[in-house]
Chain A
Amino acid sequence: EIVLTQSPGTLSLSPGERATLSCRASQSVSSNYLAWYQQKPGQAPRLLIYGASSRATGIPDRFSGSGSGTDFTLTISRLEPEDFAVYYCQQYGSSLWTFGQGTKVEIK
């Protein structure tokens, strides 16, 4: 089973700042099989990025994904008030799906 480790656990930033979230895998992950989600309190997760770098439908271009192999990054170029939330990475491999433990982006 591939374990995904996200860092940092919490990111304290101000609106307008840049957020960089990391997702590290215990084994190599195909870029096609790496996704990112956003979850706000009391809501279901929402797909942001699939295939490591493709934005899902309706996702603003301030969200971008990059990386390959075991290291992946989600970047929010300029934080908007609605971006403060928890973010999860997810991978698929060998008929198993796993999520990272999440990174909370909070208002500083």
Chain B
Amino acid sequence: EVQLLESGGGLVQPGGSLRLSCAASGFTFSSYAMSWVRQAPGKGLEWVSTISGSASSTYYADSVKGRFTISRDNSKSTLYLQMNSLRAEDTAVYYCAKGSSTSYTRWFDPWGQGTLVTVSS
């Protein structure tokens, strides 16, 4: 059974940094692209970033480009999201999700349970 477990969320001040982690199990981690998708309180889903299985390709939404960095450690089956220069509008539940293939993904399945990031002074 595929399992994705996010961690690292919490309260951070505007301008601060946070690193999210997503521990994966139940599949060959390096064979799949992985993504982060977020959901602001009471709002819809917003794609944040995707990384290929080999980590050779990364993709970012314009809203986070230059501030967030996605990475992965295939030896640890773990996905990361380094978030810098955080803003109030980054407040959301952050989900990690498994992709549909190695180089990119057409859909997201399954999703982790999410970790809440709150940016506030």
Which residues of A approach B to under 8 Å, CB–CB? 32-33, 35, 37, 39, 44-47, 50-51, 56, 88, 90, 92, 95-102
Known: A45-B45, A95-B59, A97-B35. A90 touches B110 (CB 8 A): no
**Whole-angstrom distance between the alpha carbons of A97 and B47 in the complex?**
6
Ordered by A's residue number, 29 sampled pairs between the chains whose C-beta atoms are within 8 Å are: A37-B45, A39-B45, A44-B112, A45-B45, A45-B95, A45-B111, A46-B110, A47-B109, A47-B110, A50-B106, A51-B106, A88-B44, A88-B45, A90-B107, A92-B107, A95-B59, A96-B59, A96-B61, A97-B35, A97-B47, A97-B50, A98-B47, A99-B44, A99-B45, A99-B46, A99-B47, A101-B44, A102-B44, A102-B45
Main DSSP-derived SS at the A contact region: strand
